[in-house]
Amino acid sequence: MIRPDRPPARPPLETASGGRLSIARSLAMLQPPRGYRALAWLGLVANVLAIPLVVAVILGLPTWRTVHIAVGSAAVLPTAAVGILASVALLKWRAWGQILAIVGLSMSLAVSMPYGIVRLAMLSEGRLLTAVLCSLVWTALIAALVFWCRPCIRRYLV
């Protein structure tokens, strides 16, 4: 496989146009964006806790046990695994961690939205609690997805 020629690496204080960055600007580039570490740690904890939570839901709720087993094993566990990998990569300052975080959050939305909507439509018990929890989870997932999609994260990790 032939690789395209890459330009030589620039010194850390040199911009793409050849000018030099100020010391203040170069130091600002070394600092992670606000909320980076907190969200990476929160993602790691949430994804690690998702695994025993799925097992608890399967064993503890007799309603829809088959559905919980299917959704838990086919969707929630792979999503949690991607989330754990993304969080660890982000904590180790790897650029591919941002991509995995976006994929994991998108998978979470793709699993939780249909499940929440079907549960709201099919089960009458606990409908208000389900609606509130689903709304909070969806809002948090969208906010985290917007955070990790920001270009400053990519510029920081590259």
Place of tokens 């270009």: 151
8: its two tokens: 């030589």
Q: Give tens-digit pLDDT for 100-157.
A: 999 999 999 999 999 999 989 998 888 999 999 999 999 999 999 999 998 888 777 7
CA distance 40 to 149: 14
Cα 120 → chain centroid: 25
User: Above 70 in pLDDT, residue 18?
Assistant: no
Q: What is the pLDDT of residue 34?
A: 86
Q: Give tens-digit pLDDT for 54-93.
A: 999 899 888 888 888 999 889 999 999 999 999 999 999 8
Answering whether pTM is above 0.85, one says no
Mean pLDDT of 17-23: 61
